[in-house]
Amino acid sequence: MNSNALRIAIPSKGALEKPTLELFVNIGLKVNRPNDRQYVASIPALPAVEVIFQRAADIYTKVHEGSVDIGITGYDVVCEEDKNDGKVIVAYPELGYGKCSLVLAVPDSWVDVVSIEDLAELTLQWKEQNRILRIVTKYQNLTRDWLFAHRIVNFALVDAKGAMEAAPSMGYADMIADVTSTGTTLRENRLKPLHGGTILKSQTCLIANKHALRHDRAKREITQTILELIEASLMAKNFTSITANVQGTSVEEIGKNLTMSPELQEVTGLQGPTIAKVYSDNRPDWYAVTVVIPESQLLPAIQHLRRVGGTDITVFPPRYVFRSHCESSQKLLEMLE
Amino acid sequence: MPHLGIDRAEGMLDFWGEECRQRHLVRYQLIETFQRFGYSLVELPLVEKTELYLRKSGEDIVAQIYDFVYHNRRLCLRPDVTTSVIRAYLKHFPVGSVQRFCYGGTVFRHEPTTNHHQFTQMGVELIGSNRPIADAEVIYTACAGLAKIGMANYSLVLGHIGILQQFLRKLNLSDRLVGILLAGMELLHQEGGKQKLENQLRENYLTKPETQQLAEVFGVMDEVSAREFILELLSSLRIEINGNRDPQEIADRLLSKLKHRDQTHKVLKAIEFMERLVQLRGQPQEVLPTAQELLNEYEIDPQPLRELNQILQILTAFYGQDHLPSYLSLDLGLTRGLQYYTGTIFALLDQRGNHLGGGGRYDDLVFTLGGNCATPATGFSLNLEMVCQALPPPTHPIISVSMTPPKPELIHATIEIAQQLRELLPVHMALEDSVPAGTFMISVAGQNQCHLIDRRTELTYDLSVPQLLEFIANQL
């Protein structure tokens, strides 16, 4: 183990492993893992980084205790395990995958319970009968705090053993609080999420040990590099690059035609179109126009380019979009202060 | 790896120095005052079974409990002392007997909005009497305690939770809704509070239920046939009813839910009444007649007002005057959170409106916690931290002596002199070179020879031991 290396924990097995490895490929930092049974890997592009594969549920703890410096795990895990002592910071909150919701769900057969208000009334009715609502969950802190905040207090949390969704039908709990992305597992186990009962919306995030990054400049700088690449790569997903050949008498004329009204701003690039002369012996009046625009504006932009005489339009996805500064890197420095 | 110290747990408090001395003094004076009224001191555990608080405490408190499982037992740090007092009363005294207890102790509440999760409650409980004289005595004991510790410029606000409870009961609202409305009273005291409360209630209680037509259908059926109808309907739709609940229970709840007509009217009526109740604030002679009119208008039993009136009359006797002190006022919209109160309640506020403490009548708690007969009770607690914060800093510093480290040959002589001085005042014997700041600094120079510096005047004296003792005695 290289003690000066930045140690980064990424999820091993489970739903988050594959998309996390893909994320690193996308930002040009492919993780080199000799074989699936090894828990330590490297990133050839960043020699001062050591990758440790961990269960997503353990990554928060590892970052908190400082045995790894940064980690990638679900925001749900971070909120649930949060020790509230400021040792762990969320350096990049939304990596765009692993999206899920922590929901309260009751058996389908509870036809009288549809919303969180129904549940609240049921707990009060049970309190009168000295009965307590048993909720099975791996997210005890989040569930308890959320129910308390909604003035529901007559419940007991049951430790999750094995397949939690089966607990209500097996009888050791009355209902569950668990994460779901599509709702299929809930439906298959005859459970229904309660209206107004979403405790947390989550996705994968990047967390860091505050102490490690604050006191080790090298580790901080590598983390900033990673953040910079992630931010630019995720930003690029929202944009598309279009190049078209446009006939005209001058750069100014084409520029004017393209940007003649302010509402065209969205389809004429981040700062405006780039216009360059096309070299052609027999046709001297052709220009190449390139614009980088939000993905959602693709077709309006193409229509607009056609209107000003554009043809041979090609579209490329940009790999990165770097802005004048990296927002997440700057936020990291603020959080470390 | 740098050495990292271990900080205290979040929300917990350390006390030392002058602050600690003041707390100790205030505690002592309060307990002494409570004992003058016949309250006997009790000391009860910090750790209780969580179940004790789940039984009756309001949702507010339950949500703030430091609750944990230790060796499969669900335990908690006590969030208040009253509940523990009642538990102990049930264990050690005949239920229904009149008992007076006082206490001072730490309680823990995890209030996410504040950084302070540890408080010290100083209070009394008077169990077994529902007479107005009991309420008046408890209220006056709190004020007598504050007077004893030198608290000036505080205010005493009296209210009666029974008025609102009676009104909400008459509306026949669900327990959940009653809880939300009771908690909403606090909002109504604020600017724009009515709007906030209505927003809170809008989605679930201020919209027409989707089942309005079904409500009309079931409205004309009797309970038994309606339930059979539902069970038959569900079975014909192949909806299996199970999931750890009795099908009858599910059908009954569904039925009561379906039958629940549009509640908008009732909720708006409740808010309107609450808003008018909140206006009833001020001097008793002004508030009581207006309150009487309001209760008449809504056909509410005026018993709470009669009780308040009787308590106020008895309080004048306590104050030894024919009128009440000007710091006393009524606020009929006072609720003191979602707690276990059932009747007269009161709050004590400092000049800036900070809560110093309060209390009131809780006639159901003994029964709820397992008493075999209804036993009325009343009590209060003061928040020691808030009380100390509102007090002026102590004006009389302690007069004390610091003795310089003795030379080896004079250890015996120094200890002997220190022991004699300790009969008169606190003596600090320095063991290392740094001598703490006492009023007098004494160095022992020989068997019967001392050098004294009066730190206040910087004058120095060379004295024999008898002279020293006489000098010090004269300074006290």
Does the CB of B54 have a partner CB in chain A at under 8 Å?
yes
Nearest CA in chain B to A116: B204
Residue stretches of chain B with pLDDT short of 50: 1-2
3-state secondary structure of A310: strand
Q: What is the pLDDT of residue A279?
A: 85
**What is the sign, positive or negative, of the torsion defined by CA atoms of A89, A63, A3, B3?**
positive
Set of chain B residues whose Cβ sits within 8 Å of the Cβ of A171: 244
Please answer yes or no on whether B244 and A124 come within 8 Å at the CB atom. no
The partner residue sitting opposite B254, judged by closest CB among A106, A111, A174, is A111
Residues of chain A positioned with their CB less than 8 A from the CB of B243: 106-110, 168-169, 174
Tens digit of pLDDT for each residue in A160-207?
767 788 888 888 899 999 999 998 989 988 899 999 999 999 999 999
**The A274-277 sheet, strands edge to edge:** A274-277, A286-294, A239-247, A310-316
Which residue of chain A is at minimal alpha-carbon distance from B245?
A: A110
Rg of chain A, C-alpha, whole Å: 26
Mutate to test the interface with B, among A111, A121, A136, A176 (most CBs of B within 10 A): A111
* Each residue's pLDDT tens digit, B277-319: 999 999 999 999 999 999 999 999 999 999 999 999 999 999 9
What is the nearest CA distance from A110 to chain B, expressed in angstroms? 7
Give residue A263's pLDDT band: very low, low, confident or very high (50, 70, 90). Answer: low
Q: Is A174 helix (H, G, I), strand (E, B) or coil?
A: coil
Distance CA B97, CA B103 (A): 19
The answer to whether B277 and B332 have CB atoms below 8 angstroms apart is yes
pLDDT tens per residue, range A82-108: 887 889 999 999 999 999 999 999 998
Among the partner-chain residues A109, A117, A148, the one whose CB lies closest to the CB of B204 is: A117
Which position has the token pair 């209107």? A307
pLDDT at A229 over 80: yes
Q: Which two tokens stand for residue B147?
A: 């007077």
CB contact under 8 A, B242 and A109: yes
| CB < 8 Å from A in window 235-254 of B | 239-245, 250-251, 253-254
> Mean pLDDT score of chain A, rounded to an integer?
90
Query: Which of A111, A124, A148 lies nearest to residue B250, judging by beta carbons?
Result: A111
pLDDT tens digits, A284-297: 788 999 999 899 88
Would you call B5 an interface residue with chain A, using a CB distance cutoff of 8 Å? Answer: no
Partners of A121 on chain B (C-beta within 8 Å) are 174-176, 253
Q: Nearest 10 degrees: CA dihedral of B231, B232, B238, B242? A: 20
> How far is it, in rounded angstroms, from Cα B423 to Cα B417?
10
pLDDT at position A2: 55
CA angle B170, B171, B177 (to 5 degrees): 120
Whether A85 and B10 lie within 8 Å, measured CB to CB: yes
Proportion of chain A in helix, strand, coil states, percent, rounded to 5: 35, 30, 35
Measure the CA–CA gap between B268 and B162, rounded to whole angstroms: 20
Give the Cα separation of A184 and B153 in Å (integer).
64
* Cβ–Cβ < 8 Å for B132, B311: yes
Q: Are A84 and B240 in contact (CB < 8 Å)?
A: no
CA-to-CA dists, residue A333 to A8, B7, B291, angstroms: 18, 24, 60
Sequence-distant (6+) residues with CB within 8 A of A220 are A213, A214, A332, A336
Distance CA B221, CA B12 (A): 58
In tens, the pLDDT along A9-29 reads: 999 988 899 999 999 999 999
The residues of A whose Cβ lies within 8 A of any Cβ of B are 84-85, 106-113, 115, 117-118, 120-122, 124-125, 127, 132, 148-149, 151-154, 156, 168-169, 171, 174, 196, 215
Among partner residues B62, B175, B239, which is closest to A109 by beta-carbon distance? Answer: B239
Three-state SS letters, chain B: CCCCCCCCCCCCCCCCHHHHHHHHHHHHHHHHHHHHCCCEECCCCCEEECHHHHHHCCHHHHCCCEEEEECCEEEEECCCCHHHHHHHHHHHCCCCCCEEEEEEEEEECCCCCCCCCEEEEEEEEEECCCCHHHHHHHHHHHHHHHHHCCCCCCEEEEEEHHHHHHHHHHHCCCHHHHHHHHHHHHHHCCCCHHHHHHHHHHHHHCCCCCCHHHHHHHHCCCHHHHHHHHHHHHHHCCCCCCCCCCHHHHHHHHHHHHHCCCCHHHHHHHHHHHHHHHHCEECHHHHHHHHHHHHHHCCCCCHHHHHHHHHHHHHHHHHCCCCCCCCEEEECCCCCCCCCCCCEEEEEECCCCCEEEEEEECCCHHHHCCCCCCCCEEEEEEEHHHHHHHCCCCCCCCCCEEECCCCHHHHHHHHHHHHHHHCCCCEEECCCCCCCCCCEEEEEEECCEEEEEECCCCEEEEECHHHHHHHHHHHC
Interface predicted TM-score (ipTM): 0.75
Structure tokens at B281: 């604030």
The pLDDT of residue A23 is 95
Chain A residues close to B74, C-beta within 8 Å: 156
CB atoms within 10 A of CB A282: 4
Nearest CB among A151, A156, A174 relative to B59 is that of A151
CA distance A18 to chain B (A): 34
Residue A123 CB neighbours (<10 A): 20
Q: What are phi and psi of A293, to 5 degrees?
A: -135, 160
CA–CA separation, B389 and B26 (whole Å): 11
A98 CB neighbour count, 10 Å cutoff = 23
Chain B residues within 8 A of A151 when measuring between CB atoms: 59, 63, 176, 179-180, 183
pLDDT digits (tens, 9 = 90+) for A43-97: 999 999 999 999 988 999 999 999 999 999 999 999 999 887 889 999 999 999 9
Taking CA atoms, what residue in B is nearest to A175?
B243
Q: Please tell me the pTM assigned to this model.
A: 0.80
Nearest by CB to residue A124, choosing from B176, B240, B250, is: B176
Chain A CB contacts of B242 below 8 Å: 107, 109
Residue B207 CA to residue B199 CA, distance in Å, equals 11
**Residues facing residue B442 across a β-bridge:** B403, B452
Which residue of chain B comes nearest to A140, CA vs CA?
Answer: B68
CB contact under 8 A, B54 and A154: yes
Using CB atoms, which residue from B180, B183, B244 is nearest to A174? B244
Spell out a b/e string for B35-69, using b for 16 or more CB atoms within 10 Å of the CB, else e. Answer: eebebeebeeeeebebebbbbbbbbbbbbbbbbee
- CA A78, A84, A88: angle at the middle one, nearest 5? 55
Residue A120: its chain B contacts at CB < 8 A? 176
Residues of chain A neighbouring B10 (CB-CB closer than 8 A): 84-85
A109, B204: Cβ pair inside 8 Å? no
Q: How many CB atoms lie within 10 A of CB B410?
A: 18
Q: Say if B425 is an interface residue toward chain A (CB within 8 Å).
A: no
pLDDT of residue A31: 94
Residues B455, B398: Cα–Cα separation, whole Å: 13
State residue B295's pLDDT score.
93
Residue of A nearest to B239 (CA): A109
pLDDT at B1: 47
Nearest to B163, CA basis, from B377, B313, B308, B374: B308
CB A288 within 8 A of CB A247: no
- What is the share, in percent, of chain A residues with pLDDT greater than 90? 60
- Residue A279 DSSP class: P
- The answer to whether the Cβ–Cβ distance between B242 and A124 falls below 8 Å is no
CB-CB neighbors (< 8 A) of B54 in chain A: 127, 132, 153-154
Kindly state the average pLDDT of the residues A274-283. Answer: 83
Instruction: Give the tokens for residue A147.
Output: 């129910």
- The beta-strand segments (E) located in chain A are 6-11, 40-42, 49-54, 70-74, 88-92, 100-107, 133-137, 155-159, 175-180, 191-202, 204-209, 239-247, 274-277, 286-294, 310-316
CA distance B421 to B405: 16
For residues A237 and A96, is the Cβ–Cβ distance under 8 A?
A: yes
**Nearest-Cα residue of chain A relative to residue B256:** A112
The answer to whether residue B172 neighbours chain A at the CB level (below 8 Å) is no
Q: Which residues of B touch A118 (CB under 8 A)?
A: 257
Taking CB atoms and an 8 Å limit, are B253 and A112 in contact across chains?
Answer: yes
At residue A243, the 3 state secondary structure works out as strand
User: Kindly report the CA angle at B396 between B393 and B399, in degrees rounded to 5?
Assistant: 130
Burial class (CB in 10 A: 0-12, 13-18, 19+), B149: buried
pLDDT in tens, B33-53: 999 999 999 999 999 999 898
